Chain A
């Protein structure tokens, strides 16, 4: 049975005497597998929150992912701080040990998940997106945003926020990145405007004169007196507390019965323009820049859940699954290495002037679709794909993947017709795999370029992308 661990602070409330106590600096020395959760003192919530951030900013997954409970009164503590931890233990709890063991049991599932994570690097997890993904995976819950005036982004994901060293923008962008990678999935909650310059959600919307853009406006309600058809501003009618028609001297009694408000008119105090449809401008409270609303950022605020692919990535690392498989099975090399080999091949051909090699650039547009529709089962398809590549390529060929969807091959000592034949076979096999077996729409685009003096790999890729633009 794992035990809780108190993190000491000067004002730490009393913990049970037999409970282990440590400091954040010494957490590396603790047997974290035996720790159920960390307890942080909340008597000064700012100190408590600071400690939580120190825990979460650690690179060791056993530390930053460890469940953390605040102990203290939740009165006057901001909601986002309370929700940043995994729970609250009241200080007046009499049966502390029972409470602790209850929490230990409830948090055990999280600890089991933490135990199941692969150690990616001996240096720990430094990639913030990966840390976010792992936290989401171990908590296995829906991550909901709450509106907050304390953050420029206007919304905060309380339990994710302490992972970020800088206190503001970053969470939303990271979540967006993870969603684009299909590692997490978002569910719409609301839509929010943000400053297009600095991302700040605190915008002042104000009406402006359509002619001179001044916001110095005077708005007037026009009152129509039914009896005499007089129309004037409210100030025309106002006599003390009463509304008296200046035309017929009758008191206005009931709106809708003897008068109504026909319309609203704005007067610009700057240029004297009169208008009904004012323009709208926004100004950012952070950077003070003024921008038209239609040019501001509009963000979808979402709740997030982890996907099957995300779970896999959280456990085994964020490198592309397909890339990993290809590296293992087809011996794909990194793009940087590929560039070096490409340069050498050009030099070799130029030097001996007898060799004919070709560069193949191939794009497969179904990768995203495979991720999104198959989830965990993507691996099986990628295994099949790697088999197709393996069959089409010779061991002397050089192979690399860029951005998951672009495949680069140097077909050494291969004339054009042979290169065409090999790629045609590869294409047929991929299409057969995806279209016939998985009923998936698939498009394979490819170009073959002779490798010769002066050829530039980046230019060729750029040319390929332009030629085969979506």
Chain B
């Protein structure tokens, strides 16, 4: 049945042959652009325009971009002399996009050769779909243990987790690294707002308009993830604050009764708050309780928990393998040997970072001081809160 639906959608896609605008905003990403351009050239769907926005790079990105534009490999290269942040760069690209559909990519990503075609198909299956998230997998798996652990995490949270959320109709985020949007929908919400966490923010805004948001696990994009624990901690500290900034603060209206109330939108946000924020608090209470009331059994509890988490991780990994099937590469299957470390990675490392991020955001609105955005932008955004 699924195959038939997708076959019909593919026929519609190639019959209509809409122009697709691929937007790549970024700073100092020149060294990645050439390989991204190459993967776009190899796409099965060819009616693509590529718009690259250089957000005030101070390396040789402008030279590379201009050269690729002259060679006809980039449709439009725009250089912003003054850095304005990721959202403004993406909005600059959106302004000049002519395609019916927009695909937003990170410059350090590269696509599987059918990724563009596959991510567009849901739009031809259901016209109520406003945005489609593509699957994001780790490109630099072999860079070290930290990238291998992230690769497993991506299988769990993105490939499997978002597919399930999508099926339940409560998908709350479309990754900035790989997401497709209807241009008219993006234009209705005037593009992206100031981040960090702008991808989750734009997804909720699209949901609020009443459009469906889904995940397409077979539209595959490979991206480079942090290759050291320090870089990973910094990245997650930035990402995790967006739960407080956007879901708890900016989009709290989703959680409250109103004439626009939608149970699915409520669940999309509440599920995230419940499992990430509430359970996080509960976990720390649990740990404190153990230290106070069951100090003698810590080792036993730890081993039992580790065992249970490991079993769950193996099951999740098996589910991912079953779901993603042939799209997995052999080296991705070999990640199974690293599964025993996942409880420590997610249970302790990522949870600690997350908790710290929540506290900093709740108490100090730390995301507004993040250097990810230019100071001029953060200052104004904070004043607005």
The residues of A with any CB-CB pair to B shorter than 8 Å are 222, 224, 226-233, 246-247, 256-258, 260, 262-263, 265, 274-277
Asked, given contacts A263-B81, A277-B66, whether A229 binds B191 with beta carbons under 8 Å apart, the answer is yes
Residue in chain A with minimal CB distance to B66:
A277
Interface size class of B (residues with CB under 8 A): 20 to 34
Write the nearest CB–CB distance from A58 to chain B, whole angstroms: 59
Smallest CB separation, A219 vs chain B (Å):
14
* Distance in Å: Cβ of B202 to nearest Cβ of chain A: 11
**8 cross-chain CB contacts under 8 A:** A227-B380, A230-B190, A231-B88, A257-B380, A263-B78, A263-B81, A274-B76, A275-B76
Whether B96 lies near A229 (C-beta < 8 A) is no
Query: For the complex, is B84 an interface residue (Cβ under 8 Å from A)?
Result: yes
Nearest CB in chain B: distance from A371 CB, A: 46
CB contact between A222 and one of B90, B92, B380 (< 8 Å): that residue: B92
Residues A247 and B381 in contact in the complex (CB < 8 Å), given A222-B92, A229-B88: no
Closest partner residue, chain A, to B81 (CB atom): A263
The A-contacting residues of B in range 61-78, CB under 8 angstroms, are 66, 76-78
Chain A residue numbers with a CB within 8 Å of B299 are none
A229:B194 contact, CB within 8 angstroms: yes
7 shortest interchain CB distances as A-B pairs: A229-B87, A247-B190, A226-B380, A231-B91, A262-B80, A231-B92, A224-B84
Is B82 on the interface with A (CB-CB < 8 A)? Answer: yes
Shortest CB distance A255–B (Å)? 11
Q: Which of B95, B96, B194 has the most CB of A within 10 A?
A: B95
* CB within 8 Å for A263 and B380 given contacts A229-B193, A231-B91, A246-B190: no
- Asked if B85 contacts A229 (CB within 8 A), the reply is yes
Assuming the contacts A222-B92, A260-B82, asked whether A229 and B192 have C-beta atoms less than 8 A apart, the reply is yes
Cβ contact of B79, chosen from A229, A232, A257, A263, cutoff 8 A: A263
Count of A-B contacts judged by CB separation below 8 Å: 74
Q: Which residues of B contact A222 (CB under 8 A)?
A: 80, 92, 95
Which residues of chain A are within 8 angstroms of B84 by Cβ–Cβ distance?
224, 226, 229, 231, 260, 262
B15 within 8 A of A: no
Per-position binary interface string of chain B over residues 85-107, scored 1 when its CB falls under 8 Å from any chain A CB and 0 otherwise: 10110111001100000000000
Query: Judging by beta carbons under 8 Å apart, are B96 and A227 in contact?
Result: no
Q: B188-224: which have CB < 8 Å to A?
A: 190-194, 198
Given contacts A224-B88, A229-B87, contact A262 B82 (CB under 8 A): yes
Which residue of chain B has its CB nearest to the CB of A261? Answer: B82
User: Which residue on A lies nearest to B376, using beta carbons?
Assistant: A226
Cβ of B168 to closest chain A Cβ, rounded Å: 31
Q: Is B296 in the interface zone, CB < 8 Å from A?
A: no
In the complex, A230 Cα to B189 Cα: how many Å?
Answer: 10
Interface flag for B16 (CB, 8 Å): no
A276 CB contact (under 8 Å) in B77, B87, B88? B77
Residues of chain B with a CB closer than 8 A to A263's CB: 78-81, 92
- Do residues B193 and A228 form an inter-chain contact, with CB atoms below 8 A? yes
B194-A262 in contact (CB<8A): no
Known: A224-B80, A260-B376, A265-B78. 20 other contacts (CB 8 A): A224-B88, A224-B92, A227-B384, A228-B190, A228-B194, A229-B84, A229-B87, A229-B88, A229-B91, A229-B377, A231-B88, A231-B91, A246-B190, A258-B380, A260-B82, A260-B84, A262-B80, A262-B88, A263-B79, A265-B96
With A247-B190, A263-B79, A263-B81 in contact, is A227–B95 under 8 Å at CB?
no
Bound-state CA distance A262–B374 (Å) is 13
**What's the minimum C-beta distance from A262 to chain B, rounded to whole angstroms?**
4
Set of chain B residues within 8 Å of A231, measured between Cβ atoms = 84, 88, 91-92, 95, 191
With a cutoff of 8 Å between Cβ atoms, the chain B residues found around residue A265 in the complex are 78, 96
Contact indicator B95/A256 (Cβ below 8 Å): no
Residues of A within 8 A of B78 (CB): 263, 265, 276
Residue among A230, A231, A258, A275 with the highest chain B CB neighbour number at 10 A: A231
Contacts of A257 in B (CB 8 A): 376, 380
Please indicate the chain A residues that have their CB under 8 angstroms from the CB of B80 in the complex: 222, 224, 262-263
How long is the Cα–Cα vector from A224 to B373 in the complex, in angstroms? 13
Q: Assuming A227-B384, A277-B66, is B81 touching A262 (CB within 8 A)?
A: yes
A246, B187: Cα distance in complex, Å: 11
A231 to B377, CA, bound (A): 13
Contact pattern, B 357-380, Cβ under 8 Å of A = 1, otherwise 0: 000000000000000000011001
| Residues on B with beta carbons closer than 8 Å to the beta carbon of A224 | 80, 84, 88, 92
B88: chain A residues within 8 A (beta carbon): 224, 229-231, 262
- Closest residue of chain B to A262, judged by CB? B80
